[in-house]
Amino acid sequence: MNNIWKSWEPKILSVLRIITGFLFLWHGSSKFFGFPPSAQSVGAMSAFKAFTGVLELGGGLLILVGLFTRWTAFILSGMMAVAYWMVFGTKGDSFLPLTNGGELPVMFCFVFFYLFFAGGGSWSMDNLLSKKE
C-alpha cells in the first residue's frame, strides 16, 4: 500500500502547485483588470500595487504551469511573508493569523516555501524540459 502512496506523490504535488498558482494569479488579475472584482481592484494604481500585481499575476502563471517553479516559489514565499507583516502582523493586538485575518498570506507563504524545496512535480513544464535535455 505504501508504494501506491509513493507513486502518487509527484502527481499530487503537481495538483497542489496548479491549484495554488490558479488561486494566486487572480490577485494580480484583480489589481490590473478589475476581474474578479475585489477590494484590491479599487483605487489608483501605485508603483507598489503594480509591482505586487506583476508578481501575483506573472508568478501565479509560472507556478500554474510549473515553469521556473523553485525560484518563482522562493520569490513569492518572501513576498507573502512581507505582505503578512506589512498588512496583518501589525494589525490590532495580535500577530496571530487567526485573530488578525492573515491566514491566507501565511498559507501562501508556506505552500510556496514547500514548492521551493519540492519542485513542480511530475506534471510541470520544468519536468517536461528536464526530460528533453
Find, among 4, 34, 17, the residue nearest to 72 by Cα. Answer: 17
Share the mean pLDDT of the chain.
92
Q: Residue 133 above 70 pLDDT?
A: no
Q: Which tens digits make up the pLDDT trace of 53-98? A: 999 999 999 999 999 999 999 999 999 999 999 988 877 677 788 8
Q: Cα(first)–Cα(last) distance of the chain, in Å?
A: 33
Residue 44 to residue 96: CA distance in whole angstroms: 30
Share of the chain above pLDDT 90, in %: 69
What pTM value is reported for the model? 0.92
